[in-house]
Each structure stands twice: as structure tokens, then as C-alpha cells.
Amino acid sequence: MNENLIAQTHQKFRNAEHILIVSHVRPDGDAVGSMLGLGLALQEIDKDVHMVLADGVPTQFNFLSGVNQIRRKAEGQLDLIVAVDCADMERIGSALAGDSVVDINIDHHISNTQFAELNLVDVEAVATGAILAENLPALGLSFTLPVVEALLTGLLTDSQGFRTLNMNSNTLRVAADLIDKGADLPELYTRALVNRSFEAVRYWGAGLSHVNFENRIIWTSLSLKDRKAAGYSGRDDADLINLLSTIDGIDAAVIFIEQDLEKVKVSWRSRAGLDVSQIAAQFGGGGHTAASGAMVSGTLEEVEARVIETTYNAFMKVSL
Ligand SMILES: [Mn+2]
């Protein structure tokens, strides 16, 4: 990370009193972890920190210290706005007023639009939590146990337990440093990645009962009806996409999750090195080379047909 950029960010943290931290809608472990890692560290130097996620915290991350401070709307006096793990302004959702200006953008998405005054974007980083872990001291901040636990949770979830294609020895060194500072790896690994509810598995069952596999692409869908029948309370796929992406002989996995009002959330995972963020971008989404998503208008059937065709064509172009 550029030293000058870090110095300017440090200066902004020093001068600010009331700091707002936001992250993306449908937050994952890195959104929650990097928000808490930075937020709790700023509280240690007596800053008034507001942490806001438009969709709140997914229950699986309730074990992290400080989650009870995270609100759904920004309130009160603020003099610095920081976005973590957000590729663009739109992903922040309703956590910010429409005319807000973001001062600092700390992220690792390849699709990042550099929307802030200071953009600390490292697309090689496996997680935003890793960027923070590497730069916290240079930002004048220190590691407490809740901070290292939050940051390691971000690393673990975005790397799916240290196994995504962008993993390297440096990321393991960053993780090892966090463990040396007190983070309990087996405990965090189990809580963030292994534990799941019975309802989630019933929901998986619905998706797995009509899974498709053609042209090295595996895909399935989850309807509102499936969600209701399973008693699953989230609006996501309960990580079923990560199970699909483990199946032998695939180049890509795609999942379609029906939302309200003819909207379908689509997630892609790639195993062949193909950049699925470019396919997601064609549908107004984005993300990483190996993992991307988009929100697409239409019925489940329409969106499924359109997206699978586009995904297939993108793969054909690459293999020709
Ligand atoms: Mn991330």
C-alpha cells in the first residue's frame, strides 16, 4: 500500500472526532470483520465511532465483540466517512444519505470504482481485513483481542478458510500475526465457516433437489417458496454456492436466489481462472475474479436462462 496514502489516512483519523464506518449490503464476514476491526481500534484512541450496515449483522457473526454497536442507519454529527469492503457507492445501500461523500475507501474488490477522496484499494489482498491487519500500526491504531478476532474472521470468510485462488504465503503470515496477537484460529474457523443451522441444510436440500450440470457449469435456484418451506430466515443462499463449487469437473457454479418483486440475486464462483466479475458486470454487479454477484430483474426462470447463456458464452470465448 502506498505510504503517502496511508499517511494521509492517518492524518484524517487523527483530525476527526466523529467517524462513521459503513460497508456493503448483504454483509459477509469481511464486511462485518473489517468494520469492527477498524471501528474498535478507532475507539481505543478515543474516537466517537458509528458503525452502520444497511442490512444489519447476519446472526452467524453475533459472536464477534462489538456487533451490538452496529446500527442500520447513520445518526448524529459526523466528520469523517469511511467505507470498508465496498466496491462502489451503490453497495453501501441505505446506510448513507444519498448526497453523502465518502472520505476513505478501504477495499480489495477488482471492480472498485475509487469513489472516495482517499482510496486504499489493494486488489491482491484476500480480504479488506488483511489490508487493515497489515496497515493498522501505520494508521496509528493498535491490535486488541476483539480487533484481531474481527480481522481474522474477515480473512477466513473471504478466503473460504484459506483456499481461494488468491491465497498466498503473505496472507498466511498476516493470519499468523493475528494468531500471535491472541486470535483463536480453530474457534473462529468453526464459528465463521463450519457451523450452520438445521434450517440452512433443509434449504440446501431444496436447491440440491433440482441442481443442473451442463457444459462444465453447475447451477441451481432457491425460490421464496423453498426458503419458507425450510424455515430459513436469511435472504441469501446459506452458502450453498460454496458446496456447488466443490463438485468435480466444473469450471463455474452459479446460484439464483429469488428475492421479492421480481428480483433475483445471482452468485458466481469460478474454478477455471475465468474472471466471473466481468460476467457479473454485464448484469450490473461485480466482485472478484473467482467470486462475484449481481441483482438481476426478472422472474427466476427468465434470469436463470439469460445468465446461464451469458456465462456459457463467456466460457466459450475464453476456451476458443
Ligand atoms: Mn471482502
Residue 201 has pLDDT above 60, yes or no: yes
Q: What is the pLDDT of residues 95-108, one digit of tens each?
A: 988 788 999 999 99
- 73 CA to middle of ligand 1, Å? 21
Distance CA 170, CA 155 (A): 12
Q: What is the pLDDT of residues 258-268, one digit of tens each?
A: 998 899 999 99
Q: What SS3 string covers 289-313?
A: CCEEEEEEECCHHHHHHHHHHHHHH
Q: Do 170 and 315 have their domain in common?
A: no
Residue 318 has pLDDT above 90, yes or no: no
- 105 CA to middle of ligand 1, Å? 13
Q: Do 123 and 228 have their domain in common?
A: no
Any idea what the CATH number is for the domain that residue 18 is in? 3.90.1640.10
- 107 CA to middle of ligand 1, Å? 7
- 92 CA to middle of ligand 1, Å? 13
- pTM here is 0.85
- 110 CA to middle of ligand 1, Å? 11
What is the pLDDT, as a whole number, of residue 320? 52
3-state secondary structure of 264: strand
- The candidate with the shortest Cα–Cα distance to 293, out of 238, 247, 254, 235, is 254
Q: Do 11 and 123 have their domain in common?
A: yes
What residues are paired with 49 via a beta bridge? 19
Highest mean pLDDT among 136-145, 233-242, 268-277, 308-317: 136-145
Q: Do 168 and 209 have their domain in common?
A: no
Q: Do 217 and 258 have their domain in common?
A: yes
What is the pLDDT, as a whole number, of residue 256? 98
- 261 CA to middle of ligand 1, Å? 28
- 124 CA to middle of ligand 1, Å? 11
- 209 CA to middle of ligand 1, Å? 30
Task: Quote the domain boundaries for residue 101.
Answer: 3-194
Q: Do 32 and 167 have their domain in common?
A: yes
Q: Do 227 and 155 have their domain in common?
A: no
- 85 CA to middle of ligand 1, Å? 5
Q: Do 157 and 231 have their domain in common?
A: no
What is the total count of domains within the chain? 2
Q: Do 207 and 162 have their domain in common?
A: no
CB 40 within 8 A of CB 147: yes
Q: Do 26 and 47 have their domain in common?
A: yes
Contacts of 313 (CB under 8 A, 6+ apart): none
Q: Do 58 and 185 have their domain in common?
A: yes
The DSSP call for residue 136 is T
